[in-house]
Structure 1
């Protein structure tokens, strides 16, 4: 039986195991999906060595960037993004080889195009982690001018208090931080929600709960909102194709 999985820490927030388990059952695929909750990324080598049936695994917080030095190969797109969320495992008599890919980018891009019929000229990206890098790559590939927002901005980002200056000219706001994820559902990024309008679009990569505080505050101002569940499904299907290629 082929084995697939998810590697990260912690994994209590993830729906990936449920998604793939249901997929395998519905499509009568003889495979299993496991969660590998690791406090140390280097421990994945032992798991792979002890699990010869492992054909591929997804990567989530906090290892999308940290895993790169441990890979044998990386796709051009993942290298350009600077983050990996999907790894194909190939076993050979000499050992195993790991190739990193980024399917977050395509999953976000496709979901965004379903959400917004006409892509806006400008967008804020809240957060600067691995998911933010994939979102930025997708948006810039669509011709969107991106402003990254961070709690601790460097020269290439702005801080949250500066959002207000550009808000009326920036209709799309993408939250790539984990703020608002269950069980801390009351949390949300500190943007000036009271200045949002029906012309704004809020895309939250968080999908648990289905309507986050970030989204709810947008709804109260008439903004359109979208969560990350469709993106999760789309990136998972892209990963599935890679693992089986």
Structure 2
């Protein structure tokens, strides 16, 4: 049986495993299994990709960057971001060939695109971790200007305390790439001046549990268009499947 899986540490509830096992059942796919492979040390990954049953894996924290040293090739977006969440494994006569992708870019881009209106020209990215890098790449492809917002001031970003009515009137897309508001801390929200947010704003939260975070609720109350990260995950999951099954 062919094998797929998710590597990371620690691994708790997995969207990916649930999604793929349901997909296999629904579509009558019987020759593939998807499982979780918790590994604290990335060197354990060698056992997986040397197993000829494995032809693809997803990658999550903390290995999205340190897995790069095992890869033979990177897709354009993975190379730009220097982080992967999907690896295609091809077993060849001289050993396995591993190519890394970042399908978060595809998932985010295609879930955001239908929501964009003519006035959505500039975005604020909340957070500066790996997810924010994928969002940054996507915004560049969509020709949307952006600024980062974080708690610590640098040359490249704003702080939450610097967000004025003038800035929020100019940056009408706000994307939460931080874990703030994720279950079980559902009463938390990024420290924005929400009273400056209105009907022209689009608030996007990469968090999907809960389905409507406090960040989204506060925006919705003020008339903003809102979107959570569930469709992004579903789209990237299908893109992973397409990549793994390319001959």
Q: Judge same fold: TM > 0.5, yes or no.
A: yes
Alignment correspondent of 1:105? 105
Residues 200, 13 of structure 1: alpha-carbon distance in 2 compared, 3 angstrom cutoff: farther
Alignment correspondent of 2:68? 68
TM superposition shift of 1:119: 6.7
Alignment correspondent of 1:190? 191
TM superposition shift of 1:12: 2.4
Alignment correspondent of 1:166? 167
Residues 102, 186 of structure 1: alpha-carbon distance in 2 compared, 3 angstrom cutoff: same
Deviations along 1:109-149, one digit per CA (max 9) or x if unpaired, are: 11001233447110011111222111111111111101011
Distance, in Å, in 2 between the alignment partners of 1:23 and 1:2 is 15
Q: Greater CA deviation, 53-62 or 98-107? A: 53-62
Alignment correspondent of 1:176? 177
SS of match in other structure, 1:105: helix
Distance, in Å, in 1 between the alignment partners of 2:4 and 2:216 is 32
Alignment correspondent of 1:148? 148
Q: Greater CA deviation, 37-46 or 174-183? A: 37-46
Contact 2:88 / 2:100 at 8 angstroms: preserved in 1? Answer: yes
Matches within 5 A, 1:9-88: 9-29=9-29, 30-49=31-50, 51-88=51-88
Distance, in Å, in 1 between the alignment partners of 2:127 and 2:192 is 12
Distance, in Å, in 2 between the alignment partners of 1:75 and 1:198 is 38
Contact 1:74 / 1:99 at 8 angstroms: preserved in 2? Answer: yes
TM superposition shift of 1:173: 0.5
Residues 115, 12 of structure 1: alpha-carbon distance in 2 compared, 3 angstrom cutoff: farther
Distance, in Å, in 1 between the alignment partners of 2:130 and 2:39 is 18
Aligned residues: 244
Distance, in Å, in 1 between the alignment partners of 2:68 and 2:163 is 32
Q: Greater CA deviation, 183-192 or 199-208? A: 183-192
Distance, in Å, in 2 between the alignment partners of 1:133 and 1:119 is 23
Deviations along 1:195-231, one digit per CA (max 9) or x if unpaired, are: 2112111101111111112111211222111001111
Residues 192, 4 of structure 1: alpha-carbon distance in 2 compared, 3 angstrom cutoff: same
User: RMSD over aligned Cα, in angstroms?
Assistant: 1.8
SS of match in other structure, 1:214: helix
SS of match in other structure, 1:64: helix
